[in-house]
Amino acid sequence: MTAVSAFPITPASPDGTVDLVALRRLVATLVTAKVDSIGLLGSTGSYPYLARTERQRALDVALDEAGGAVPVLVGVGALRTDEAVRLAQDARAAGAAAGLLAPVSYTPLTDDEVFEHFATVARESGLPLCIYDNPGTTHFTFSPELIGRLSQLDGIVAVKCPAPAPESVAGHVRNLRGIVRDAFSLGYSGDWNAVEALLAGGEVWYSVVAGLFPATAMTLVDAVRQGDADEARRLNTRLAPLWTLFKSFSSLRVMYAAADLMGLCRAEPPRPILPLSIEAKRQVAETLRELDLI
């Protein structure tokens, strides 16, 4: 089944204290839209910038607001394996459905190091894990062979891959499906290429845009579910101006600006990331108005 996992920002003060009222408001919007899952504390949720205690506070509020109606998967990535274990244990104890684990690193990691990292977190936490392949932030790229090895481990249940270019995505899906175990979920991020990944057989869209505009994402995915590829591609093409902003300024900065423009929260990205300039924010506002998103 094709599904949408919506990734909201995590509003916080300059000292890294999560704004629980604003976060609850964001999560409530996703629950109302009936997204298939909520991806809390992903890259859009600024997980590396938050202390363990703040991650716990954010997760508790998200789970409370979701009320069991929508599964919550939560980022548990950390530089150290033991810290990632503790974060995953926290998530399991709180009631998260799964953990999203990225191989966060300073020293470049080898495949064997990443394999052991994942195996340890899965074994010692008991939390189902989704492999988070995000080379743009971790500077580590999962080979298909490594994903295949990890998929054989108990507790490694899914992967979130950056969606390849449209001409390559069908081969990517086919290759992975041939080496992972049955029932292992193949999901994709990179909003601008996600439609082609879903049409090619990807099962989950791990979506930035759904974190603020869930109805828009759900409409697009509904077209895929109904087998209407032309409509899905039309809707995706319509969003091209937003995808251009994501590529130009980063989706993180654009989503913070959008949340501010929508009056959902007044938070800024965690430093040293700076908010968009006045001119860039004007471009975001114009684009969102043109797309009838605000």
Q: Catalytic one among 34, 49, 132, 247?
A: 132
Looking at residue 163, its pLDDT comes to 97
Looking at residue 254, its pLDDT comes to 98
**What pTM did the predictor assign?**
0.97
| Separation between Cα atoms, residue 150 and residue 206, nearest integer Å | 20
How far CA 218 is from CA of 43, 52, 74, 138, in Å, comes to 21, 32, 21, 29
Q: 152 CB contacts (<8 Å, ≥6 apart)?
A: 181
Looking at residue 23, its pLDDT comes to 98
206 is catalytic: no
Looking at residue 48, its pLDDT comes to 97
Taking the CA atoms of residue 66, residue 70, residue 75 and residue 76 in that order, the dihedral angle to the nearest 10 degrees is 90
256 is catalytic: no
Helix residue spans in the chain (DSSP H): 20-33, 52-66, 81-94, 111-125, 135-138, 144-151, 166-177, 191-199, 214-225, 229-238, 240-249, 251-261, 278-290
Q: Catalytic one among 160, 206, 256, 281?
A: 160
**From the CB of residue 277, how many other CB atoms can be counted at a distance below 10 Å?**
12
Three-class DSSP category at 226: coil
Residue 10, annotated as binding a ligand: no
Structural domain boundaries of the chain?
3-226
Look at the domain 3-226 and name its fold: TIM Barrel (3.20.20)
Angle at Cα 18 formed by Cα 12 and Cα 24, nearest 5°?
105
For the chain, which residues score pLDDT lower than 50? Answer: none
Taking the CA atoms of residue 11, residue 204, residue 247 and residue 264 in that order, the dihedral angle to the nearest 10 degrees is -30
